[in-house]
Chain A
């Protein structure tokens, strides 16, 4: 059996912040430990406000903390945001190429990558539209394309489908799984939908309420593409639901 390398290693991570209104220190994460292997798709689920997004931001170094507890190579990391976070002054092409432009990639190479990602996420014909002219699903496609344009080996996703309607979200989930199968990158996704976590992940990490600890880690060994009507699928969803409730 091939041994997979650990690409994210979180050891005894705690995080708290000072509430500016009450001046009280609020503990969010308490002694959280888990690791993620290369090419693995891991989802984090838990009750509202338990710190799911916080841990993703800590991994991405978007929050100040003692980052020694998080072992990760951030040079090949990318991020998909819940509310898309597209730059309103840039069109689809420019948004997708933003990260590459910041890396000072030459225009020719940048155009090649952007064209490739536009085709890959199904945005042909909308290249010159601005974010306010796009539907929610298309906005998130731009968000995913922008993240993929960086050729990441680690992709962090913060509730990427929660701002979308059910049908659009389902279509995008399928597309994302195809992209993940193609590139085999490591994915860490935060979601509040247990069904979504079971459908997409190799492993589901269940967080408890604040101050958060890891309550359970569920291996999802169902074959892909997953039969969402199978008994095993429902059993796994029930098991995780019970842990959260």
Chain B
């Protein structure tokens, strides 16, 4: 029996390795093709894509830290319930309406793009985590207290695992909003990056096709290599 189970696991593992390898090789081939047909634009495409990705990851990291800290603070505070309507109001302000303000404060800089994107990514993570912390099963909370999870240990060993599935789903939503914010501000603010690469007159070159194809590939890779494994892991935390 154990041999059958072991065999099944190995088959499953081999299938996973095969699928992942196939997907990665296919992407590498498509990406190489894009690079070849982009000719002189290849370097610019890669640089623009990497710059936008750097901005996005930085904005995401800031949002993740801020949203988690604020959610933990609010969920444990007696003023928490008063803060939720205020946050709800703030998150409903159209983020693109704030671009002139951000340009006024920070100029056409990397910092401006990152902070602007962070203010968009923050909300889904904050609300998802807040919801999970507010709805945690009472008995689990009691067990954590009884067995000594207090102070920083409560945060690390109880609240963070409780919030983990929401952190993952909030991050997935936040990341997609982040792409929109980064590319939007790069187009509007004429800043460098994939937004600026795409912002050329249609028909002059292949920039739109190349940029969107490259974006699709990077989005697919992030989804396959980061979000999917994290989503699978988060099922355990929510069981």
Contacts and interface: CB of A to CB of B under 8 A. Distances in A.
B142 A85 contact: yes
A83 interface: yes
17 contacts: A57-B142, A60-B146, A62-B146, A78-B146, A81-B142, A84-B139, A87-B140, A88-B237, A89-B161, A98-B157, A99-B148, A102-B149, A102-B150, A102-B153, A103-B148, A130-B236, A132-B239
Contacts of B30: none
B143 interface: yes
Interface string A126-143: 000011100000000000
B164 A79 contact: no
A79 B146 contact: yes
Interface of B: 137, 139-140, 142-150, 153, 157-158, 161, 164, 236-239
Interface in A97-114: 98-99, 101-103
- Of B137, B150, B158, B236, the most chain A CB neighbours within 10 A belong to B236
A99 B147 CA distance: 4
A160 to B, nearest CB: 12
Given A89-B161, A103-B148, A83 B239 contact: no
> Looking at chain B's contact residues, is the secondary structure mostly helix, strand, loop, or mixed?
helix
A82 interface: yes
Given A62-B142, A85-B139, A85-B142, A102 B147 contact: yes
Contacts of A81: 139, 142-143
B236 A88 contact: yes
Nearest to A146: B147
A89 B142 contact: no
B134 to A, nearest CB: 14
A83 B148 contact: no
Interface residues of A, number: 25
A87 B138 CA distance: 12
B53 to A, nearest CB: 30
Contact of B236 (A82, A89, A98): A89
B157 A102 contact: yes
B239 A87 contact: no
Contacts of A84: 139
A103 B149 CA distance: 9
Contacts of A44: none
A60 B148 CA distance: 12
Interface string A144-188: 001000100000000000000000000000000000000000000
Given A57-B142, A81-B139, A150 B238 contact: no
Instruction: In the A-B complex, list the 5 residue pairs whose CB atoms are closest, starting with the nearest.
Output: A102-B148, A99-B147, A85-B143, A85-B139, A132-B239
The residue in B137, B146, B157, B158 that gathers the most chain A C-beta atoms within 10 A of its C-beta is B146
Contacts of B157: 98, 101-102
Nearest to B164: A89
Contact of B238 (A86, A88, A99, A146): A88
Nearest to B234: A89
Contacts of A131: 239
A58 B130 CA distance: 28
Contacts of A78: 146
B143 to A, nearest CB: 4
